[in-house]
Amino acid sequence: MNKSLMLPSGILAEEADYKDQIIDEYNNNPFIQALPIIRDKEEIVTILSQNLKISKKELELDEYVRIHMLQRIYKGVFQVLPIHIKVFNMIDTLMRQGYIDRNPFNPEYIRHINKLGNKLINKDFSMSVNSNFITTASCGLLIGFSGMGKTRIVNKVLEKIPQLIYHNSYSNTDFNAIQVTWIKLEAPHNSSLKALSLNFIMKIDELIGSRNMERYAVKNLSVDAMLPIMGQLANNINLGLLVIDELQHLNKNTSQIMNYFVALMNTFGVPILLIGTPACYDMLTGELRIARRVTGSGEIIWNNMQNDKEFRLFINGIWKNQYVRNKTKLDEEMINLFYEKTQGISDLVVKLFVNTQKVAIERNIETITKDLVEKVWAKEFKLLSPMIGSIQTKNKAKMFQYNDIKVIDGRVFDTKDNVKAFMGNKNGISGQKNIIGQDKKTKVTKSKIKIDSLDCEDIRRIVIEGIKEGKSNYQSLLDTGVITDIEIIFKEQII
C-alpha cells in the first residue's frame, strides 16, 4: 500500500508508484508511470459499474422509510454504456499524451519552462518563447444533451485517478515534486476569463495549500497577464488535465476564449477537456483553426439514446433496483412506454422510474404498472412535455428553442441561419427569396444541385422535393418540422 503525505491544505497526497508501461513513449517518465495502469474494456466496465443490493428485510420496512431509500438509486446505480468507455479512454489518453514531452528529465522542457518563468519575473506577460519545445497536449470535446450524464461519467473517471501524487526519487535519482493529475472547473456564468483564471488559482490553493490568490488576486491583473500566470502554475504543479464543464456559459467573446485555451495547450502543454451542451457547438465551429484544436483527441457527441440495444441495456440495468414489494418484470411494452415518455434521456428515465415507485409505495399499490407510469408522467413531468414532444416529432424548429436538446449529427447545422436563408415572408417573418425558387412555377432544373447527393434532412433537398409536389418553400419546411408557424408558438406560450 502506498504511503500518504499530508499537504499544507490538509489533503493527503499518494506516494508515486511507478509502473512499467506497454507503450515505449510512456516509459522513462515519472508523471506517466505514476498513473494507474491502462485498462481494457472489461476492466473499465468493472470499475465504473455500480449496483444496489436490496435485501428482503429492506422491502419489509414501512413505506415512509423506503421512500427515503429510493434516493439511493440516483447515486448508487450506474449502468455502464459504450459511450462511457469512450469517455474513459479519452480522458486517459489526453492525460498520458500531454505528459510525453513534459517529462521533468527532458532538458528541452526544463529550458522552456525556465524561460517562461523568467519572463514572468520580469513582468513580461507575452507568451512568445524561443525554444524547441513542441507540446503533445491536445483537447477533447464532450458535447451532449442535458441529462445524459456527461458530468457524472467524467467525475467517475477522474475519481479513479489519484488527484495528488508526490514524488521523492525516480530511477535512483532524487526527484521531489508534486503532481496534480487533474483539475475540474465549471465555466463562470458571466463568461469571464478572469473569473475562470482566478477559480483555477483558488483550486490550486485548496489542493496543495499554496497562497497564490494572495499574490495575484489583489493585483487587478488583466486577462493577458493572468493567462501566463495560470500556465506557469499549471507547470509548477505538473498538471495532467484541465477539465472545463458547462462550456456553454462561455458564450461571449468566443474567439478570445478559444484562443485562451489554445494558448494553454500550445505554450504550456496543458491538455484540456471541454464539456458542454449542444448550445456551445456552434461557437466552437466558428473558426477552422479553433475547431481543429478542440478536436485534437476527438469529439464525443452525445445525443439522446435511440430505442435500441443501448436503451435496453440501460433500462435493464436500473430496473432491478425496485423498492416496491411486488417487483414488476420488464417487458417490451414497458420499455417502449419509458422510451416514449423520456425519449432516451437517461436522467429522465431514472427520475420516472424513481417517482413511479414513490407513488406506488405511497398509495400502497406496491407495483409498477403501465397505467401508473402514464399517470406519474402526466402529473409530475408537465414542464418537460413540450421538449420531449419536440424530440419525439423531430421538429427542429421547436428543438431549437431548447438549446440543451439540439441534435448534433457531426455536421455544422446552424438551423437559425439556414431557415433565414430559405424562408419566405410569413406572419411577419422575412427571409431571402428565390434561393431555389419561391413560387410553384419555378422549375427544379434551375438548381444545379444533385438531389441524390443531399442528406434527407438537408434543407435544400426538402425545398426541391417540395417544389416537385407543388409546395411553397415555407410549406415544405413547415411540413417537415424544420420551422414552426409563429402563431402556434404564441398559442403554446399563452397556454
| pLDDT value of residue 446 | 44
Q: Do the beta carbons of residue 120 and residue 212 sit within 8 Å?
A: no
| pLDDT value of residue 136 | 84
Q: Do the beta carbons of residue 5 and residue 208 sit within 8 Å?
A: no
Count other C-beta atoms under 10 Å from residue 131's C-beta: 14
Q: Do the beta carbons of residue 358 and residue 338 sit within 8 Å?
A: no
Phi and psi angles of residue 180, each rounded to the nearest 5 degrees, phi first: -100, 110
CA distances to 139, 225, 365, 408, 427 from 369, rounded to whole Å, are 46, 61, 9, 34, 45
Determine the length of the chain.
495
Alpha-carbon dihedral sign for residues 43, 137, 6, 152: negative
Strands 164-170 and 173-180: antiparallel
C-alpha cell at 449: 444541385
Please give the CATH architecture assigned to the domain spanning 4-34+81-302.
Answer: 3-Layer(aba) Sandwich (3.40)
Cα distance from N-terminal residue to C-terminal residue, the chain? 63
Phi and psi angles of residue 289, each rounded to the nearest 5 degrees, phi first: -60, -45
CB crowding 9-29: b at 16 or more within 10 Å, else e: eeeebbebebeebeeeebeeb
Q: Compute the distance between CA of residue 447 and CA of residue 451 in angstroms, rounded to an integer.
A: 9
The model's pLDDT over 193-236, given as tens digits with 9 standing for 90+, comes to 888 989 999 999 999 999 988 888 776 788 878 888 888 899 99
- The residue assigned the cell 493577458 is 224
C-alpha cell at 74: 440516483
Count other C-beta atoms under 10 Å from residue 295's C-beta: 16
| pLDDT value of residue 204 | 96
| pLDDT value of residue 444 | 44
Q: Do the beta carbons of residue 28 and residue 20 sit within 8 Å?
A: no
What DSSP letter does each residue of 240-300 carry, written as one string?
Answer: --EEEE-GGG--SSHHHHHHHHHHHHHHH---EEEEE-GGGHHHHSSSHHHHHHTTTT-EE
Residue from 272, 253, 281 nearest 404 by CA = 281
Please give the average pLDDT of every successive group of 10 residues along the chain, which has 495 residues.
84 94 94 96 95 93 95 94 95 94 90 82 70 81 89 96 96 94 92 88 95 81 83 92 90 76 84 87 62 64 92 95 95 96 94 96 95 94 80 60 55 37 37 39 48 65 77 74 55 45
